[in-house]
Amino acid sequence: MNRQFELIEQRLKNGQRLMMLELTGLLRNYVRDKAPLIDKYDYSKDLKIGLVPDVDGGIGSIVYFSKISRKLEEIEQNTVVYVNIKPNNPRSKDYIKILSKYNPWPMDLLPIVLTLRDSDNVTKIVSAHEYQNVRTRITHNAGKIQMELRASGLSGAVINSDNSFVSSEVYDDVEFSVLRKEFGILESQQPHWRPALSKLSKDLKNVKEKFITYIETGNESIFDIPNYDKIAKSDLDSDGMFKKIIAKSVTLGKV
């Protein structure tokens, strides 16, 4: 009898994992069906499935996007850069802390070439009005910032130096760009995550039935399981802004 209970308990746990993975795979497929290009880039092809340990000892699965780094080569219209201190790095260079304090930065006013070894540098596209405000703020405080940077050991730091940003290493804030498309912020609206989640809700009954069948038979092959990665919770975005905004905007009705 105890062995039967142990078998059922094992199948419940494994069945939860299989059910979550199939649903997450379906969600990714539905997003890909309608995903627009983001700055001429098909980000949906790089969406992956991750299996994540839950706080209470269970498991969860997510659709996630791996950061892709690149080097800045030319001024990009209305694009700012956030210089972020690397998490869990108490030895961050003093000048990185100063640059971070004055975030965000217009690309062409960056006083140094940034590397991803020293800081997490993220680009974000903003409105022309926001961009001008950022330029005005940095230009107005240029003298003060230069003094702070030089005092930190960054001798010769000059703001507004031609092409000082070229070859800086950055990540693009793809999540923010996707939200702009999803909700029509500063551009035409092209929702694809909300319709995908609404469509997924119609699959719940079928996948739950597979779960019940699995508990009875132990046959894993009835699930359609995508390839996935195992991810530590520490590797996830700490604030989960994208997930929170999408989740709050979705109901089981029309979107």
Give Cα separations from 74 to 22, 45, 56, 164, 165 (angstroms).
Answer: 42, 26, 47, 11, 9
Q: Is residue 183 domain-resident?
A: no
User: What pLDDT is stored for residue 15 in this prediction?
Assistant: 94
Closest of 200, 176, 20 to residue 104, by C-alpha: 176
**Residue 174 placed within a domain:** no
pLDDT tens for residues 25-69? 999 999 999 999 987 789 999 999 998 876 556 678 889 887 888
Instruction: Report how far residue 211's alpha carbon sits from residue 222's, in angstroms, rounded to the nearest whole number.
Output: 9
Number of domains in the chain: 2
Task: Give the model's pLDDT for residue 255.
Answer: 33
Q: How high is the mean pLDDT of the chain?
A: 86
Q: Mind listing the pLDDT tens digit for each residue in 124-157?
A: 988 899 999 999 999 999 999 999 999 998 888 8
pLDDT on residue 39: 75
Domain check: are 106 and 141 in the same one?
A: yes
Asked whether residue 113 falls in the same domain as residue 141, the answer is yes
pTM: 0.77
Residue 62 belongs to domain spanning: 2-67+188-249
Of 121, 137, 167, which residue is a domain's last? 167
Q: Is the pLDDT reported for residue 222 higher than 70?
A: yes
Spatial separation of the C-alpha atoms in residues 51 and 229, rounded to whole Å: 6
182 is a domain residue: no
Q: Is residue 24 part of a domain?
A: yes
Task: For residue 13, tell me if it sits in a domain.
Answer: yes
